[in-house]
Amino acid sequence: MASSDNPGTSSDNLGYDATPSALDSPTVAAARMLGGVIAQCRATAEHRTRAEVDLRAVQDIQRKLQADPEDPSARQWVRQLATAWSFRARDNTRSIRKILDLLDGNQR
């Protein structure tokens, strides 16, 4: 029973044990969505190497967002990666637009 009290923690934590308010942040949601888009592209041979590098960057971003969900440098990093992947993953433009919309809404 005690071991199931915190099922979201692991050694490869991507920010899931952060406080509930931090998980509700639009920047955190955008980073998670971006990680999903990039993970889908990892299966494609032409994107595999870049996707691996950028997925590690997304993990770093999510660790930064655990400490400060409104970190402006993390938000900018997500925006830069999303913009770059909007050109690489042309079949996911709707997902990229949603990520950018989350970030834009967070700045207002």
Element (H, E) at 58: helix 48-67
Residue 76 located in a structural domain: yes
- Domain total of the chain: 1
pTM, to two decimals: 0.74
Residue 22 located in a structural domain: yes
73: Cα within 13 Å, side-chain hemisphere: 7
Query: Tokens 């071991």, residue?
Result: 3
**In terms of residue numbers, what domain contains 63?**
17-107
Element (H, E) at 103: helix 93-107
The amino acid occupying position 79 is: R
Rounded-to-integer distance, Cα 105 and Cα 46, Å: 32
Residue 3 located in a structural domain: no
Q: Give the N- to C-terminal CA distance of the chain in Å, as an integer.
A: 43
10-residue averages of pLDDT along the chain (108 residues) = 41 46 80 94 91 96 92 95 89 86 75
pLDDT at 93 (0 to 100): 79
Q: What angle do CA 84, 29, 88 make, to 5 degrees?
A: 20
